[in-house]
Amino acid sequence: MASKGEKTRSDIIVCAKNLFYQRGYEATSFTDIVNASGFFRGNIYHYFKTKDEILEAVIQQRQTDIRTGLAYWDAQYADPKARLNAFVSMVARSSELTEYGCPIGSLNTELGKERRELQDEARVLFDLFRHWLAQQFVALGYEDKAETMSLHLLGRAQGIAVIAQVYHDADVLKRETQMLAEWVREL
């Protein structure tokens, strides 16, 4: 059971994660986080002195979430194709993509323009998926192409997220992820 302090810290991170996703990192101020969280500024300062520190905590939380999800898929599905399908299904079920795009892609794109030092930390979120996807392709016998195929699948998923968000179209998301699932079935 989490202590009150751990819960407060976690609540701040969740609040900031949502704001960074919906508004963008640069467009979200420390004051925005204070106001949206419902905590006093001093309470937030107790845990985080800067918005960059909050971002680092958000990235760490996303890493934990991704690792947990990947471990779940590893335990749930013995077949690497089923694991790849789980990844595609995750993209297909992400209805918020049509509104805000991919949270990981959006963050990396934004930070890559003006805050490269922070993007280096955020890139790890993609690396977790990339390496895991490559492991699945190796398990399917594509040792020579595993890294290329991993980036291809990740790139297609990101492209789908961008187009679905640009057009605010859930049908695009559905149609494109179905085609992606078909590609995985044909491997």
Q: In this predicted model, what pLDDT tens digit does every residue of 131-178 receive, in sequence order?
A: 999 999 999 999 999 999 999 999 999 999 999 999 999 999 999 999
User: Which sequence spans correspond to the domains of the chain?
Assistant: 4-185
Question: pTM for this one?
Answer: 0.93
With the C-alpha atoms ordered 48, 65, 59, 114, is the resulting torsion angle positive or negative?
Answer: negative
Provide the CATH number for the domain formed by 4-185 in this structure: 1.10.357.10
Q: In this predicted model, what pLDDT tens digit does every residue of 60-83 receive, in sequence order?
A: 999 999 999 999 999 999 999 999
Residue 1: per-residue pLDDT: 66
Q: In this predicted model, what pLDDT tens digit does every residue of 4-38 receive, in sequence order?
A: 889 999 999 999 999 999 999 999 999 999 999 99
57-96 as b/e: b if 16+ CB within 10 A: bbbeebbeebeebbeebeeeeeebeebbbbbbeebbebee
Q: What's the Rg (C-alpha) of the chain?
A: 18
Say if CB 134 and CB 82 are below 8 A apart: no
